[in-house]
Structures are given as structure tokens and as C-alpha cells.
A and B are shown apart, each in its own frame.
Chain A
């Protein structure tokens, strides 16, 4: 039966070639959208590592930041700001961070360890950051006052980074990367050697839809990074608190400028950035698929009308309506499979060429599966009407042509 179908398809290769090409291209387009959707939804289901509820972000900007690094005023002012914010009755806690979550700004770095290059996101976080944001320490400890006197740079890393850097070994107290070069003073990296003091379960600064990444914290010191404050407010605090907060901040230093935004809002905005392109691409792809579906229906319908003679002859020789139905759908199935095979062959090349290496194998195969199923479904739906039409062909119509 299959061999017969293959032969039928081959005999009409000119017409079928175009259909195969169309299915091949549709598959590629659909895969592009499906793989992005699967990737995002897979990311969304992974743990976030922190809690954003009732946390407000304050972006502190001081004009003319290029002042000499020995200038102690910014650090003093920042301490004052944090203290006076804490006095507000709505405020539970204030903590400092280099770049706030969901803000879109980031700091990435890489290190050579065990002969492998490991990439990670970096941030600076204050001693009380863990409690304010609900981070979960799984090994060692978070930063604390005992780091003040340390002769090394304490760091906290995520489980993912610990596994990549140290495998199954205990990372606590271990050195992280090489000693920085002597002339690194101008860069953002510290001058002292880095040692792991703790491991947290997870931290995904860019939010739920962002890809999973290794993460690495430096201790927030007022001298180095007075840029963002995170303020935990009591539940039920309304946005009217904002002006009060703003007054308070300006009261300490009116030359600095402050942008206040609840993390919940920043989260929604960052979601838009991830979802808008996918929604636009999804809409376009959906319309393309409708177009392809209609086109296929038209072509198949045309094929059936053209083959009335052949179908009539088969009916005359005793084929049942069901046989004809199976034949038409079977041919379509074979053609579709050709197109899809071609597509899969192309798509499987991508990870081999390290083109989409950030995708996990799971996401990759799920996406191929879903795209295959969708295309088969599409062709099946397109084939139903024309093949039903074919079953209605009467043997006598075949005779009329001879």
C-alpha cells in the first residue's frame, strides 16, 4: 500500500513538488514561532528565586557621576537616604542592589575555570537583600558584617553556577576564577580574589520569561554602587505612598534624582517586551497557516476534479468509497511527510552548528514534535473536503471520458 502511494506521488512529481515545497516552508515558519513560544513558557515555569510582591524600586541617579572614586560623599548620602526611608511607617525594610530586577539593565561576565569558559550574570546585593527579597540559601551563608574584615572578595553564587564551576564538590570557601590582573583598577571587577561564601537556589534577575542563567553576587558596598534601592513596604500600601517617599528622598539630597516604581509594574512592562514580538509573530504565522490551508484545499480539490477519470475507473473496478478516501488522504500524508522530512533535516542542523545553543534539547524536541503535529493536522483538515468529494465520484463518470 505504502509503496503504491509512493509511486502515485512520484508519478505526479511536478505538481507535488510545489506542495512539498510549500509544506517545507510552512514547517520552518511554524517551527520558528513554536520554538519561541515553547522556550518562553518553559522559562516561565522555572522557579524565579525571589519574590517581587510589595517591593518598590528606587533608581537613584546622581548627576556628574565621574567624580573621583575617593569622594566619600555619595556613600554617606546613600546611607542617609536608606536610614530616612526606613523611618517611614509603611516601610518594612530597605536594601541596596546594583541593577534592580526587571529593569532590563544587566551586567554579565565570564571566567575561565577547569579549562572551560563559564558565563554568568552579575549583581551587587546588600547584606539584608536575601531577607527582603526572600532568596533561599542552600549552602553556606549570605553576606554579613563578618565580611567587612575579610581579606578576600566574598561572593554568593547560584546553584546552577556552583554546579558548572565546581561540579559535585562543595563550593564554600573555594576560589572563583583567577586572581584579577594588577591593572584591573579601572574595570568593574574587584581587585581582591573572589571566594564563594554561599550558594542560593536561584536568581533570575530578568524575570520569568528570561532564559536561565548562572548568577553571581558581589557584596553591595555604598562606595561602589549607589544606584538602586529596593524598598519592602507593608501589604496594602497604595501608590499614594509614592509622593511621600519622593519628598523624603528629596529631603535628604535634592540634587539627586529618583525614579520610583513598584516591582509589580516593572514586571508587567518587562513581560510586554518578551510577549509583544511573539504575539505579533504568532498572529502573522496563524494567518500564513490559514492561507496555506486554503491554498492546499484549493489545489487538492483541483487535483480531484482532474482525476475523476482515474477515480471513476477504480470505483468501476470495485474500489469502495472508503478505499478512495484512504488513497487521497494517504497520498497527501506521503507528500506532507516528504516536506516535513526535508524540514526536520534542516532544523536538526541548527544545534549541530551551535546556532541556537541556548535552547535545551527538551525545548528543541518538544517544538519539533508540536510543529510536526500541527502541520499534519493542517493537511488533514485541508484534505478532508476534497477527499470526500472524491468518494462521491460515480463509476459512470469515468466512462463518459472514454
Chain B
């Protein structure tokens, strides 16, 4: 039966090529946009290298201080993280790192600006960087204020030209007036993965003044690697219970701290919706789904419109089938199968197109080190969307078709 439907479907597609083209265009374009958008989201918050362990990682990314007349939203300081986010139950490893800063470096009087990230030894155990040569610096390097650095592949090329990767090890780079010895070279990390991203990573202790160690607010963040996801609630509640006990240096200025141990999605929600103060992951999810739905309304209405027209065109075929005893349900089934088939073909075209578009974006250099990729997760989302789309735009026209009066339909009637 299904085989028959498919055969009929192909005949129908070929008979009205213009309509088939329009439908395919609409479906493939819509899925293209949705897949590119999904891959963008995945690029930012998905569990991709070097954040392979993201699914069991929490982070303290924002800190909001409040007082009677004051409100300061920003990043936590080293002192805050060191005192209040350390030794949480269920946390296997914890890393504190500075937000990247854009610093000047010079090579033969030519300026090369680099994104510098200061971090500790645990950073390299939580994240799985792809080392092309050498290795990470350690907690001891950080403790002993060793001026060592890990650089990414692009930086290596900028400073050491076409020498081999290994030749870069042991050489020095002068950044922001300090000289660092290169101990490792890693593959580039996309700029949109804000937590691990940098051009050069150096120990926190090399910061030129030690005053950062006391600060409540500053430019630091922490990653907490839990033993498993099951530990998340305990970590979150323990961290939350510590917040009321913070010693404020000047309680007249600030006396309330708001922060949380967030998953990446919660962190995004905290930044964009909660104003850095609270996290509303459900609201963010609703907004994202709402936007996607809003975007899909137009193509769907367009497709329903087309399908209704196509059915009326096939009125006589339907009349004949009804006259020979086909039930309404059979006809609905046939039409929905046809429509889902069409959407799947369109989805496939959209998939191929999105591979090209993403490659174009990657190569264009609009976003430094961009590495947008389609993976099986995005593919599955796309497939699910295509089927949803096919069902959604096929059901109303099919229902309308099944209600055609056979006698009218045979006469080529339209009402």
C-alpha cells in the first residue's frame, strides 16, 4: 500500500513541476535557516571540543552585588570564587580563569593583538584541548609563578611562521610587556566558545599585581566539574546557601550577592534575560521556541495554501477513488504520506545547502576561528522538524480533500 502511495506521489510531483519546485524551495529554505540557527546554538552551548565534559560541568559566570542604592552586575572576582565556590560537595575539579583580554604583542615591530586568558592548572583537566605539541602548564607552574604559556595554532603561525609545531616549544613570546615561554600548542578554539577560548593561555599568578586575590567582583569565572549530573542539585544548593554568609568589605555599599552554579544554558538565560542577576532557563527556552515557531508560520501557511490548491486540482482523481470505495481515512493517509515524502526530500536538500552555507561562513572569516558544523544531533533536529513540518502542513488540506463530495469531484467541481 505504502509503495503504491509513493509511486503515485512521484507521478504527482512530476506532473506539476512548478508546484513541486515551490514546495521544495519553501521546505528546504526553511530547514536551511533552522539548521544554521541550530548549529549556531550548538556551536555556542553544545558539548563540543574542548568542552566535551560540558554535560557534567557547572559554572559560576556572573555575580551581582546589591545594596540600598547600588547595584553592580558583572563577573565574579578571584577572591569570591576562591572563598565561596571551592570545595563544593560532588565537585571533582574546579578551575578559576580570567575572561579573555585583548592584549598587544609585537613581533619585529609589527603589532599582533592576542586574546589572553589567565587560568590555573585544573583548567586543562576540565577541558579536553587538542594538543598539537607539548602539553598544558600545571598547578605548580601557577603556584610558582612560572612565565609559561600555551598558544593556539593560529598564534604559532603568526609568530613562528612555517617552522614545525615542535619548533615553537621553548620559544618566548612577549605579550603585554611580559615574556612567556611556550610549553604547548593547541588547535584553535572557536571565539564563540567563550569559556575555553583564547589565543594564548598563561598562569593566573603572572598577573602584574596581586590585589585581584581579594576582589569580590572582577573579571574571573569558575568551572566546576561534577562527578555526575546527579550531583548538580547538591552543588547548586550548597553554593546558594553560602551566599548569605559573604563578608562584604563595605556593607553600606553592597550587602547582597546573587549568583548561581549554572549549566551553560542557565548561564545564557542569566545573561540575556535575568540581567546577570537571576536565571530563567524556561523563559529562554520559550523565547527560542517561540522565535522558531514564528519563523515557521509563514512557510507553513504558504505550504498549506499550495497544498489546498493542489488538492482541488486533483478533484477528479479523488472522485474516482471515492466512487470505488476508498474511505476518507485512506485518502487522508495517502495525502499525508505524499506530503511527508515531499518534506523529507526538501529536508535533504536543505541539509546539503546548510553544509555549504556553514562552510561559507567558516571560510569567510566573519567570525574568527568559526567552526560551525553539522553533527548527528543537528541532523536529527532537522529531520524531526521536517517531519513535523510535513505533518502540520499536510493535515488540513488532507482533511479538506477527504470531505470532497464524490459526485461533485467527478464533475470537476470545486466547492
* A associates with B: yes
Which residue of A18, A240, A246, A258 contacts B305 across the interface (Cβ within 8 Å)? A18
Count A-B contacts at CB 8 Å: 117
Assembled-state Cα–Cα distance A25/B305 (Å): 13
Q: Please pick, from A29, A254, A258, the residue contacting B104 in the complex, using a CB distance under 8 A.
A: A258
**Is the beta-carbon distance between A287 and B305 smaller than 8 angstroms?**
no
B22 within 8 A of A: yes
CB neighbours of A295 from chain B (8 A): 22, 26, 302-303, 305-306
Asked whether, in the complex, the Cβ of A254 is within 8 Å of the Cβ of B309, the reply is: no
Question: Quick check: A21 and B301 within 8 Å, CB to CB?
Answer: yes
Chain A residue numbers with a CB within 8 Å of B67 are 186
Q: Tell me the dominant secondary structure on chain A's binding face.
A: helix
Do residues A19 and B104 form an inter-chain contact, with CB atoms below 8 A? no
- Taken residue by residue from 69 to 98, chain B's Cβ proximity to chain A (1 for < 8 Å, 0 otherwise) reads as 110000000000000000000000000000
Is residue B45 contacting chain A, with contact meaning CB distance below 8 A?
A: no
A67–B211 touching, CB < 8 Å = yes
* CB atoms of A66 and B215 under 8 A apart: yes
C-alpha gap A303/B104 in the complex (Å): 66
When distances are taken between beta carbons in the complex, the residues of chain A under 8 Å from B21 are 294
* Contact of B308 with A18 in the complex, beta carbons under 8 Å: yes
B15 neighbours in A (Cβ, 8 Å): none
Which residues of chain A are within 8 angstroms of B177 by Cβ–Cβ distance? 250, 254, 257
B356 at the interface (CB under 8 A from A): no
Which residues of chain B are within 8 angstroms of A255 by Cβ–Cβ distance? 208-209
> Is the pair A29, B298 in contact by a Cβ cutoff of 8 Å?
yes
Complex Cα distance A31/B361, Å? 27
Question: Is B227 among interface residues, defined by CB-CB distance under 8 A?
Answer: no
Determine if A63 and B306 form an interchain contact, defined as CB atoms under 8 angstroms apart: no
Residues of A183-204 whose CB lies within 8 A of B: 183-184, 186-187
User: In the complex the two chains form, what is the Cα distance from A297 to B103 in whole Å?
Assistant: 56
Instruction: Check if B70 sits within 8 Å of A187, measured CB to CB.
Output: yes
Which residues of B in the span 249-308 have a Cβ within 8 Å of any Cβ on A? 250, 252-253, 295, 297-299, 301-306, 308
How many chain A residues touch B (Cβ–Cβ < 8 Å)? 47
Residues in B neighbouring A294, C-beta threshold 8 A: 21-22, 25-26
B112 CB to closest chain A CB (Å) equals: 11
Shortest CB distance A396–B (Å): 17
Q: Is the CB of A15 within 8 A of B308?
A: yes
CB-CB nearest in chain A for B215: A66
Asked if B305 contacts A259 (CB within 8 A), the reply is no
* CB within 8 Å for A284 and B305 given contacts A183-B252, A254-B177, A295-B22: no
Note all chain A residues with C-beta closer than 8 A to B212.
Answer: 63-64
- List chain A residues, Cβ under 8 A from B103: 257, 259
Q: Does A288 contact B (CB under 8 A)?
A: yes
Residues of chain A from 14 to 45 with CB closer than 8 A to chain B in the complex: 15, 18-19, 21-22, 25-26, 29
Per-position contact with A for B204-242: 1 when CB-CB < 8 Å, else 0? 000111111011000000000000000000000000000
Chain B residue at minimal CB-CB distance from A12: B414
A22 to B297, CA, bound (A): 9
Query: In the complex, which residue of chain A has the Cβ closest to the Cβ of B106?
Result: A243
Q: What residues of B have a CB within 8 angstroms of the CB of A326 in the complex?
A: none
Q: Give the distance to chain A from B246, nearest Cβ to Cβ, in Å.
A: 16
Establish whether residues B18 and A298, one from each chain, have CB atoms under 8 Å apart when the complex forms.
yes
Complex CA–CA separation, A66 to B109 (angstroms): 34
Residues of B near A243 (CB, < 8 A) are 106, 109-111
Q: List 25 A-B contacts (CB under 8 A).
A: A22-B302, A22-B305, A25-B301, A63-B208, A64-B209, A64-B212, A66-B211, A66-B215, A183-B68, A186-B70, A186-B253, A187-B70, A246-B104, A254-B177, A257-B103, A257-B208, A259-B102, A260-B111, A284-B295, A294-B21, A295-B26, A298-B22, A301-B18, A305-B313, A401-B412
What 9 A-B pairs come out closest when comparing CB atoms? A64-B211, A302-B309, A63-B209, A64-B209, A295-B302, A186-B253, A294-B22, A18-B305, A255-B208
Known: A63-B207, A255-B208, A299-B306. 10 other contacts (CB 8 A): A22-B305, A66-B211, A183-B252, A186-B252, A240-B109, A243-B109, A259-B113, A295-B306, A306-B312, A306-B313
- Taking Cβ atoms with an 8 Å cutoff, the residues of B that contact A are 18-19, 21-22, 25-26, 29, 33, 67-70, 101-104, 106, 109-111, 113, 176-177, 207-212, 214-215, 250, 252-253, 295, 297-299, 301-306, 308-310, 312-313, 366, 412, 414
